[in-house]
Structure 1
Amino acid sequence: MVKAKDKIVKRLGVGGVLRITSDVKKKTKFWKYEIE
């Protein structure tokens, strides 16, 4: 798991990773809202 993340970080750079993590957080919040 960690190795895969390291590969992604090297490819996209820190900015790309931050953008993806923020997108994931938005989706999880949306899903939680949908479930409730």
Structure 2
Amino acid sequence: KVGNHDAIVPSISGWARQHGINTIFVDDRDPFARGFQVT
């Protein structure tokens, strides 16, 4: 119970595998480093 209310305790279970590791960086010389907008 939480106060006067009935309550539950949620839980999540499962498994996962690591398929790879990435390193992402932004090149300071890239003129579109932050993206672009078409108007």
TM band (smaller chain): under 0.3
TM-score of the superposition, structure 1-length normalised?
0.17
TM-score of the superposition, structure 2-length normalised?
0.17
More helix by share: 1
- Higher RCO (CA 8 Å, separation ≥ 6 residues): 1
